[in-house]
Structure 1
Amino acid sequence: MTEIQLANLVQMDSPKAVLEEAVATIACFSAAADLPVIRSAFDQTVSLYRGAWPDIKGCNTDYHDLKHVTDCFLAMVRLMHGAVENGLCITPRQVHQAAVAALLHDSGYLQNCDDTLGTGAKFTLSHVRRSMDFLQRYHRVFGLQSSEINACMAMIHCTDLSCTPAGIPFPDPASARLGKMLATADVLAQMADRTYLEKLLFLFYELDEACLNDYCDELDLLKRSRDFFIQISDRMKNQLDASDRFMIHHFRSRWHIDADLYRTAIDDQHAYLKRILKNGGGDPRNRLRRGNVVNKVRARYN
């Protein structure tokens, strides 16, 4: 029997397909959720990232792009579904808050139209705070009440990898749980993406534009990403309350699959990365063939 893969369940490069799966999943665990308003928030995000908003440029970062946002949104919905299946209570308003926080968690990478210097990658160090500010400024567009702003901002704050969730001033325990779930969804969505390893090359140039000189070149980032897999697993377990444990309950209920397909995809990525980095294998970038990403990177930066 052919192994079921995460990327084969939903057409992840289609925002419409992602939205329909997310809505169907929400309907499974939150019958009272306001699905038309969630749909509207999603559509507003897509138009925002595609440059249809006045005074705000469309997304021009290749790693932190619209697909990552929609990937994170669906991962967050799946985690909430799994959590409810596991006995956690999430109210309809909390579902909406978490959905909007997922949609806007990287909005801080977007530039104003009068900003002609570089790309949004220059905001790497400040993008979380900028995302929080964006949510605060436009919360009504996304169907949020003023009383919900602080909770949503705290959830976005939790996605900051340099931040310890214990130090975030969550307004209530429910927001803290959802913030840790969003931080989990953020990394799961990135690292389970079937083109994650390829897109790491784009990430190098985003970090370079932000003057974060942590890596010498693309290959250095690839090599040191082996340890990043381990660091993220530790963060999810010890700082994010192992929120990824909810994912298997989603797949059992929604897809009748007794496995966490995110974990499977991430483990496969890690194993492949280690394999192509072995000595004697030549340039590992030549073995990153998905999505024609490597050729796009070479055409743009080399």
Structure 2
Amino acid sequence: MNFRRSEFDVTNRINTTDPVCVKLEVARLYARLYSREKPAPLMQAFDDIVSLYRGEYEGYAACDTDYHDLQHVLEVTLAMARLLDGYEHSRGDGPSIDDRLFQLGVICALFHDCGYIRKRGDKRHRHGAEYTSKHVSRGARFLKGYLPTIGMEEFADVAGSIVHFTGYERPVATIRVPSPIFKLIGSLLGSADIIAQMSDRCYLEKCRDRLFPEFVAGGITRKQTGKGEIVVFASAEDLVRKTPSFYQTASRRLDTDLGGCYRYAQTHFGGNNLYMDAVQQNVRFAERLGAGAQMALRRQPPSTIN
């Protein structure tokens, strides 16, 4: 099938709206790398993230952020597992990522955006997107308490630092980890977050229809400076038009701050980097829209919001 389906990954094989499909593929990669059965902590983490996003996890409401939804989490998780796989197959003399560290990396991917999920009875915020500016820190706190419950207590403290590689609350250079291997895992995760979302077949539609409303709720569309207020994104269409400039910023982050870790996808796929191919296709379409081409965004993104 040449026509990529909107709910499928860059290979058009894995349904990223179906947690079971992603879970099985990650388990397959794990087994291929380490010749071991499905690890209980990782399998439990998949079940728990689904419960959390569906409002079935004790103390938490269901996900209400349409852009940062379960599909986004599963896309990033799949990309993370593939980058881990690509790294291990091409690391040479670099440090090895053992099976426990592989599990840690994937679990951090699963929970990297859980800071958008509101607690039940939250009276201060009406929508998860209002946590945009501090969602990474909230997720880090959640992981610190969660990891000991699945037998991963040795990583409870460092996991929060790892998920900060996906956000902008802290510059990457200021994130402190106890050893270089955790910086590598954080860089892989930060890379997976960027390439997974920007390669989504409906990325531009999601930016227009889902991300912009989240930015409004989170106070991201405007910024206060010493000279007054600056409009960052004037409209949903403006957000789409600015995708190429965002990609330039993201490319610098990928290459410089995150050490070019996105390139391990090429090793995983054994040829082209399918993620970057899809990213660049989306960027080219946005460039044509920005140049006034008579084109429209017509794809219908799937939804994982109940």
- Contact between 1:100 and 1:142, CA under 8 Å: does it hold in 2? no
Structure 2: tracts of 5 or more residues without a match:
223-231
One of 276, 282, 288 as aligned partner of 1:263: 276
In the other structure, the counterpart of 2:299 is: 290
- Contact between 1:155 and 1:178, CA under 8 Å: does it hold in 2? yes
In the other structure, the counterpart of 1:232 is: 250
* Alignment CA distance shift 1:33-1:246 (3 Å): farther
* Alignment CA distance shift 1:280-1:197 (3 Å): closer
CA distance in 1, matches of 2:239, 2:246: 10
Alpha-carbon distance, 1:16 to partner: 0.9
Alpha-carbon distance, 1:53 to partner: 1.1
- Contact between 1:41 and 1:141, CA under 8 Å: does it hold in 2? no
Which protein has greater RCO, CA pairs closer than 8 Å, 6+ apart?
2
Task: For residues 84-127 of structure 1, give each alpha carbon's deviation from its aligned partner in whole angstroms, at most 9, with x where no partner exists.
Answer: 00024111111111111111110100001101442100000000
2:211 partner amino acid: L
One of 1, 8, 13 as aligned partner of 2:12: 8
Computed over aligned residues only, the root mean square deviation of the Cα atoms, in angstroms, reads 2.0
One of 174, 179, 196 as aligned partner of 2:203: 196
In the other structure, the counterpart of 1:64 is: 68
2:10 is the alignment partner of 1:20: no
Equivalences for 1:8-157 in 2 at 5 Å? Answer: 8-32=12-36, 35-87=39-91, 88=94, 89-116=96-123, 117-145=125-153, 147-157=154-164
Task: For residues 54-85 of structure 1, give each alpha carbon's deviation from its aligned partner in whole angstroms, at most 9, with x where no partner exists.
Answer: 22001000011111111111110000000000
Give the aligned length.
284
CA distance in 2, matches of 1:69, 1:22: 13
2:176 partner amino acid: P
2:205 partner amino acid: E
Greater fraction helix = 1
CA distance in 2, matches of 1:44, 1:156: 18
* Alignment CA distance shift 1:264-1:28 (3 Å): same
CA distance in 1, matches of 2:233, 2:3: 36
In the other structure, the counterpart of 2:286 is: 273
Alpha-carbon distance, 1:3 to partner: 8.5
For normalisation by structure 2, the TM-score amounts to 0.87
In the other structure, the counterpart of 1:300 is: none
- Sequence identity percentage: 31
Structure 1: tracts of 5 or more residues without a match:
253-257, 297-302
CA distance in 2, matches of 1:36, 1:290: 38
In the other structure, the counterpart of 1:255 is: none
3-state SS of 2:157 partner: helix
